[in-house]
Amino acid sequence: MTAPADLTKVLIVEDHRVVAEGLWALLAEYSDLTVVGWADSVAEVVPMAKELGPDVALVDFRLPDGTGADAAAAIRANDPSTAIVILSADASDSALLAAVEAGACGYLLKSASGDEIAAAIRSAAEGETLIPASTLVEVLARHRENARSSAQQTERLESLTPREQEILTLMSQGLDNRAVAERLSISYATVRTHVRKILEKLEVRSQLEAVAKAADWGFRHVEPDE
């Protein structure tokens, strides 16, 4: 499909046909925009972009063979002049960062209005970055804090001795201290000492909280030696 030079050419990258057709019909309402094609996967993006030479690619973040970030990187590797606007239901910081790192200049949620999508496409075609620097600063700060917190959680779990891991596993299975002592053939006092150490290392106040936090942090159960 060819388009007049004064129109902004848009390539839709969306794996759901109904959504793609809806976007196509929506963008047809704007006289300065024209949809030149539709790709439904990362694999299809590059050959279509090469053939159609879009000014802007409007890309879903979740595709059957990858992400919108993968599609964005592939498109821009072929032609860095093609602007990328991600349109997604995923509002997570990780998705936004992945899109930015792949070269996307805009990130819209699928709840955006037609006018918002059209405006984003126009701005992207003009070379504008649609993601405010302040937003990126906030997202990066949260990302660093989450990474730091995750590292601390992993460190705390790894600080548990093999015996403490066994006891935590049995606690998560609903065994009380006496049942744990019997299962492991150790004294009740020894179990209480281990439990106290587990609470200290995980920085919690109760066994129930220890079990909940460990599960949330991805603790893998260790089956006690018989």
CATH number reported for the structural domain that contains residue 211 in this entry: 3.40.50.2300
At residue 202 the predicted structure's pLDDT band, cuts being 50, 70 and 90, is very high
Q: Give 34-79 pLDDT, tens digit per residue.
A: 999 999 999 999 999 999 999 999 999 999 999 988 999 999 888 9
H or E segment and range at residue 22 = helix 17-27
- Please state which of the ranges 23-27, 40-44, 139-143, 187-191 shows the lowest mean pLDDT: 139-143
Q: Which domain holds residue 64?
A: 8-131
Question: Is the pLDDT score of 140 beyond 90?
Answer: no
Question: End of a domain among 84, 115, 131?
Answer: 131
Q: How many residues does the chain have?
A: 226
Question: 73 lies in a domain?
Answer: yes
Please report which confidence band the pLDDT of residue 225 belongs to, taking 50, 70 and 90 as the band edges: low
Q: Give the N- to C-terminal CA distance of the chain in Å, as an integer.
A: 70
- Give the E-state strand segments of the chain in sequence order: 8-13, 33-39, 56-60, 62-63, 66-67, 83-88, 106-109
More confidently predicted of 141 and 60: 60
Torsion of CA 176, 178, 183, 189, to 10 degrees: 120
| Model confidence at 143: pLDDT above 80 | no
From start to end of 40-99, where are the E strands?
56-60, 62-63, 66-67, 83-88
Overall domain count for the chain? 2
Q: Measure the CA angle with vertex 88, ends 87 and 92; round to 5°.
A: 125
SS3 label, residue 14: coil
Q: CA-CA distances (angstroms) from residue 187 to 152, 169, 212?
A: 31, 18, 25
Residue 167 parent element (H or E): helix 162-172
Read off the pTM: 0.62
Residues 40 and 120 in one domain: yes
Do 113 and 185 have their domain in common?
no
Instruction: Return the pLDDT at 66.
Output: 92
Do residue 104 and residue 21 come from a single domain? yes
Q: Which of 85, 115, 131 is the last residue of a domain?
A: 131
> What is the C-alpha to C-alpha distance for residues 42 and 102, in angstroms, rounded to an integer?
13
Specify whether 179 is located in the same domain as 67: no
